[in-house]
A and B are shown apart, each in its own frame.
Chain A
Amino acid sequence: MKRLIASLLAGSICAYTFLGCSSQNVSTQSVTDSTGKTDKVITIDFPTTWVGVSTSAPWFKNREEEFNKKYAGKYKLDVEEIAGDQNYVNKIKVLYASNSLPDVIAAGGYNLIDMMQSKLVDLAPYLMEDPTWKAHISTEGLQVNSRGNKVYGIPIDKQVMGYFYNKALFKKAGIDKLANTWDEFFLQADKLKAAGITPFSMDTADSGWVTSLMLGAMIGQTDAGETFMNHAQPKNYNAPEFIDAATNIQKMFQNYTTSDAVGGKYENAASNFFAGKTAIIANGPWMISSFYDTTMAPDGFGDRVGVAAYPGNVMYDSGKIGFNVAAKTPEKIEAAIAFVKFMTSDESQRINLEMNGSIPDSPTVTSSKVKPLVTQTIRLGKNASRKINDFQSLWYANVVDEISVQYPLLAEGKITPTQFATALTAVAAKNK
């Protein structure tokens, strides 16, 4: 008896072990309606970062509920929550390597198309079938998401960014108009310093987003620089415009920013701006809602903030990588496309604009329920003399990562701007 129990126990443990290793593929469920007819509910696997403390979480929750309501009994969204853009990108890369990409991917502007093309669904035929849908996608949005004649992504928003400045601090420093050139920009920085105000919020960690926007804007002030900033996956950073910009970034780190900028994350840079410790921060319109959030910024802070184009009338204004479809079966592809259409619809883009300040990709989406700073950002983008794309969308991932570890050396003067450029070039060369 004891031997029998022992054998059964051992066998059960083995069985449970192997059962636990099997993948659960609950992609369809049966739903029986009142007439007794059974339909299959197709589940759409969608991992997302629009959860938790993400500013887009309320918008996404709204969209998820509406989608599930609209397609009740037909499609159901299976959301996997992933905190942080970089964690999301890493997870998708691992899933790609193991040939188990989810049905729909939204990488927040990160370019995964070039790496994963072979596993993504070409959406061009579906756009041809639905000209109304195609008409709502901007030319630059379609361009950024296309490779040759194939379309691998549908954008929901576009990248329009200038820099924000604290009007009250500018007034205190005696600055009454915005800089038209970078020389004027740095003269204003000197004025701010003289008034006891730290000019710039900067960071180096996690790709040094805020700092790198400044870097890119400086590069993009010439014809060659504008071309560089709109070129996908550059391999050579030893360009004069890049080195000149890096020289200015080094100057900014050494003279014009807070002591926690080197090693600091975006949150440090943002906190310093909200607290009135710095006068200028480079970032996108999604930050605008935070200016009015009293848990993050003082009451009335939003009214003290202005938005400006970079000197030389340079603006980040580009299409953005959107939703990709990686579903494998025809019914899953159909379901995924229905979801993508829903998420990129004019209504979704309008709600995204109103809730998050995200500039819609569709040229037909407008709203009167947006903060003035959002409207100003859109106008600045339209009127910019030079329009550039951001580094995170275009540069190699290892270069974006390398920037974070090279910035501290640049800031400390351990490397020259030329050496900084050379380091990035060496890392870019590792990509085949």
Chain B
Amino acid sequence: MILLKVAKRNIVLFLLPCLALFAFIYLFPTVIVFFTSFFNWQAGSSMTFAGISNYLSAFSDFSFLKSFENTFIWAFLQSVIHVSIGTILAVILSRKRKGWKVFRSIFMIPNVISSAALGIIFLNLFSPQIGLVNSVIGAILGKPFQWNWFFSDKTAFFTVTLTWLLYAGLITIIMLAAIQAVPEDVLEAAKIDGASQRQIDFMITLPLVRTSLGTCVIIAATSMLREFDLIFLTTSGGPGISTLNLPLYIYKTALNENNYGYANMMGVLLIVMGVAIVYVINKLFRMDETDI
């Protein structure tokens, strides 16, 4: 009993620094953000209590609604397409064909390049004047092609989405590890029962890695709730508000309009959106249940 008490005390003691850091860096600022979202707080003027007027204003703010919509769409696309690409690649790599380790490393390259560098790379890739994309299209068409992918209203959203949608290296790594952890005897039994490789992959392996898949979907969706760098460095939310998302709108509201109360209100709504997304994904993938 005494040993148990001492062990518990040591656990608490060792957890204390981490908890303290969490409290100071995340918890207290979150509480302050929540609290100040009910105030009119702009630089150069004192804070005055505003009740829920900031929240009500958001629903008539077209830029907020558009940024919310864009954030949601990106979170959905990332959860579905990005994770699917990563998972399919993981399934292919799990067969350990020749060179699979090399491809595994290659797929990770976009994930290790900084956002600043990626932004410049994509701006140059899709440049109307010197971009590789336009050069290839021009070569196919047999005449010069100078489409402004990032700054045309028709293609800006699509082009910005491409900067992150296809590069599923992290998802591939996570799913590959999960797939490789599936017990061999289960797969052997399936083979003995006459299941084809595709049937094994999609009807046995994937269901068994359900929780890892759910984790990947959470990672993908929540990454879109934090996406800022690539949009800021490429279109800055334009043309107009076609590529504006919530993090960027919060940044602009806080630093260009100096409206901290309104920005914090959007921060609260972003947190609520994140919690809701994680909750739904947890339920969809039955994350608290195991099959093995």
Contact = CB atoms under 8 A, between A and B. Distances in A.
Given A114-B44, A115-B43, A259-B148, A398 B256 contact: yes
Given A10-B14, A401-B252, A260 B43 contact: no
Nearest to A399: B256
Given A96-B43, A115-B44, A262-B151, A404 B238 contact: yes
Contacts of B157: none
Contacts of A409: 153, 238-240
A17 B19 CA distance: 11
Given A7-B13, A412-B153, A406 B240 contact: yes
Contacts of A23: none
A161 to B, nearest CB: 24
A404 B248 CA distance: 14
A93 B258 contact: yes
Interface in A401-426: 401, 404-406, 408-409, 411-412, 414-415, 423
Contact of B257 (A14, A21, A258, A398): A398
A431 interface: yes
B196 interface: no
Nearest to A423: B240
A414 B239 contact: yes
A117 B235 CA distance: 33
Contacts of B252: 398, 401
Contacts of B151: 204, 262-263, 408, 411-412
Contacts of B127: 260
B259 interface: yes
Nearest to A9: B14
A260 B238 CA distance: 16
A117 B43 CA distance: 11
A217 B257 CA distance: 26
Interface string A116-152: 1110000000000000000000000000000000000
A397 B256 contact: yes
A3 interface: yes
B16 A3 contact: no
A262 B150 CA distance: 9
Contacts of A117: 44
A93 B17 CA distance: 31
Contacts of A115: 43-44, 258
A90 interface: yes
B129 A13 contact: no
Contacts of B237: 405
A108 B281 CA distance: 48
A260 B129 contact: yes
A305 interface: no
B20 interface: yes
A177 interface: no
Contacts, number: 106
B110 interface: no
Nearest to A89: B255
Contacts of A260: 127-130
A415 to B, nearest CB: 8
Contacts of B259: 430
Nearest to B146: A259
A116 B239 contact: no
Interface in B112-162: 123, 127-130, 146, 148, 150-153
Contacts of A262: 128, 148, 151
Given A17-B17, A397-B256, A118 B44 contact: yes
A154 B150 CA distance: 41
Nearest to A427: B257
Nearest to B21: A17
Contacts of A432: 42, 45
A3 B10 contact: yes
Contacts of A397: 255-258
Interface string A228-269: 000000000000000000000000000000111011000000
B24 interface: yes
Contacts of A430: 257, 259
A26 interface: no
Contacts of A11: 13
22 contacts: A10-B10, A10-B13, A14-B20, A93-B43, A93-B255, A115-B258, A116-B44, A259-B128, A262-B148, A263-B148, A263-B150, A397-B256, A404-B236, A404-B238, A405-B241, A406-B239, A408-B239, A409-B153, A411-B151, A412-B152, A414-B239, A414-B240
Interface of A: 3, 6-7, 10-11, 13-14, 17-18, 21, 90, 93-94, 96-97, 114-118, 204-205, 258-260, 262-263, 397-398, 401, 404-406, 408-409, 411-412, 414-415, 423, 430-432
In order of increasing CB-CB distance, the 7 nearest A-B pairs are A405-B238, A263-B151, A408-B239, A398-B256, A10-B13, A260-B129, A259-B128
Interface of B: 6, 10, 13-14, 16-17, 20-21, 24, 42-45, 123, 127-130, 146, 148, 150-153, 235-241, 252, 255-260
Given A398-B256, A404-B238, A409-B238, 19 more contacts: A6-B14, A10-B10, A21-B24, A93-B43, A117-B44, A205-B236, A263-B123, A263-B128, A405-B236, A405-B238, A405-B240, A406-B239, A406-B240, A408-B148, A409-B153, A409-B240, A414-B239, A430-B257, A432-B45
